[in-house]
A and B are shown apart, each in its own frame.
Chain A
């Protein structure tokens, strides 16, 4: 196992090294640099040159890369050119918002999706299945940039029940934080609710045809107990795999939702950093994404090898 790990880890490091070259080079292939944003409108060439020198952007590109890599190895992600704060601080602040939003959306997706799925799977009454089915189809069909705008119009502008946008930390004002979170989380969760409900409903219907369910009915088990204790637990495993994929899609969809609700999460940070050519943040964010993927992949391979000796032998 140790030999397998020793062989697997260097390849992961090599992937990260190649990725670091790519994420360093790609932003620099685009036109313009951070000086444009820092100098502001109407700046003279002399001013722009002075600012460029101050940032070290006039240095040899290889030197800039080595400097950045050395920082990474020592745990220094650099300082944002535009925001003038350590990259780790900017990423941390943004990550907090994105994780809060995604977790809340996931929770809503599970709760509402389970409810919809159970109703779709267990009920035979058209009065229940038709409206639930229609709602599920609607939430799947409407993209977040439409539901977001509609929710804001209905719940913030017309009724003034919830804030139209903005992030509030739970440490600052828990009540307001909760209210600020509801709409963006719902907006992000709706497509996942639809997927979860559809899959769970189908899975429940499949399980309901199983012999053990018929036995339970024949033995006079109450319907509620039969559903909650026997049918749903057996219907869940295939649905959980789908939910995992939905989490990935939620992280992608969060970029749009953050823009609609004026949250300043990772999506907002990445987009602004790209537009302002804040190379340090772009590089760090892209490398972080690659690193997460590589680490998860490596750990999965190691776990696989630990439980299956054939993998170690083949390697």
Chain B
């Protein structure tokens, strides 16, 4: 080998090594060590500012990082804890409540937080063009008064059992910029981070709020919320160390990380992702309760849990999480796969061989897998099921209008706190008007009973009613998941799955 060639090859190798070194060097993220750094959170959809006053999955990362709520439930005791409200007194008849608000809190704009902001936010929830699953609670507030700058008194038309669900769900917004908030132009809250920039469809960059009312917090310098539509891409990003948190990765993708010490897959204790199959009871043969019960007996819930949800959750015939006061472990196991019983009920209803559509949102692979398992069960039970994949916009429009073409597979929340919130606010169960077109004076009475007081007798009645009528057949009570790098410590979340990074920090 001649000298010149040796030199050339050595130079080429050195160049390649330098390039690789430069590339890798550039890759090291700037971490300020414990107490600092920037966390990157990945989610599959863009934040949805128009729904900030309701619970909506794309907003899980931004609500509690930019805003605060009045109270927050302790996840163990389920007792409301102070947040922007420091204390409260309810009247003995439960028809009024006085909230004492935290002093010394400022919005990111520098303006002081006062009682007027609470009144404004409550009135915003009451607005027709603003969505909230707890609109019915806000609507029940007939009087609201700011007694002084830091005291609010609310008067209710009737006692309601889920008032603190509203206080937990509703971020307190800045009245001066609320219209801009709905348009995604300005995000002014009282939370630990301020919005540095927002690019619709791409993501949000947050930076530390130096004037946060919790002294010494947050530890992190910033948070990037990025949109990555593909679960596999999220997984790659996490495994490459480019990001620290992935929200709601596909359950089967989270299975890859189990046993990997570099990650934790946190299944939210709220358990508020309950998969169900429901019936449009306007359509035959689903108008017959025996057919609906037969369907509930026909489905292999365990297979759904294992194959579609990677074991995250538990099978159940009831909509409640274990944290719900209405949860009854004995009744939760009422329906399990029993093809004999299913056939018997369907035959008794004269529905053998009858066609049944099974609609689902085709953009959500988990629901497709569940729909296929449902289809298999129904076929064995004697029905003639046909899968109907629908684009998300079409599926949810039809869901909202009660026009789905038969059975439909979907996921609901709101089983974790006050049972009234489910039967009054979650559309699949809403006793006033629901996606199944199920209308029953008895059900409305059950819902009203749940709403007016925390009464164990009402829970039993509600459970029996839901199990009997099966307009919604719950299958698996699962959970939203946070896939977290072990570098990130102290990630917390609320009972509505809002991510709380107040005390979070990165380690090297």
Contacts and interface: CB of A to CB of B under 8 A. Distances in A.
Nearest to B411: A41
A80 B200 contact: yes
Given A50-B129, A84-B49, 10 more contacts: A36-B393, A39-B50, A94-B201, A156-B236, A165-B228, A166-B228, A259-B230, A260-B233, A268-B201, A275-B391
A121 B46 CA distance: 49
Most chain A beta-carbon contacts within 10 A, residue among B227, B229, B232? B229
Interface string A143-182: 0000001001100110011111111000000011001000
Contacts of A40: 48, 50-51, 54, 56, 131
A47 B128 contact: yes
Interface string B220-251: 00000011111011001101111000000000
Interface in A44-79: 44-51, 54
Contacts, number: 171
Nearest to A35: B397
A48 B400 contact: yes
Interface in A233-265: 259-262, 264
B20 interface: yes
Given A32-B391, A36-B400, A179-B26, A161 B20 contact: yes
B483 to A, nearest CB: 14
B425 interface: yes
Interface of A: 30-51, 54, 80, 82-85, 90, 93-94, 149, 152-153, 156-157, 160-167, 175-176, 179, 259-262, 264, 268-269, 272, 275-277
B27 interface: yes
Contacts of B133: 41-42
A163 B27 contact: yes
Nearest to B392: A275
B400 A262 contact: no
A49 B230 CA distance: 32
Most chain B beta-carbon contacts within 10 A, residue among A30, A41, A164, A262? A41
A39 B51 contact: yes
A33 B54 contact: no
Contacts of A42: 54, 131, 133, 425-427, 430
B236 A90 contact: no
B394 A31 contact: yes
A41 B54 contact: yes
B331 interface: no
B445 interface: no
Nearest to B26: A175
Given A42-B426, A156-B242, A32 B397 contact: yes
Given A43-B400, A260-B233, A83 B201 contact: yes
A122 B104 CA distance: 78
13 contacts: A31-B391, A31-B398, A36-B396, A38-B51, A51-B129, A90-B201, A93-B202, A157-B240, A161-B24, A162-B23, A165-B236, A175-B22, A275-B392
A83 B237 contact: no
Given A45-B433, A149-B232, A83 B48 contact: no
A260 B433 contact: no
Contacts of A160: 24, 27, 240-241
Contacts of A34: 393
B203 to A, nearest CB: 9
A30 B233 contact: no
Interface string B271-290: 00000000000000000000
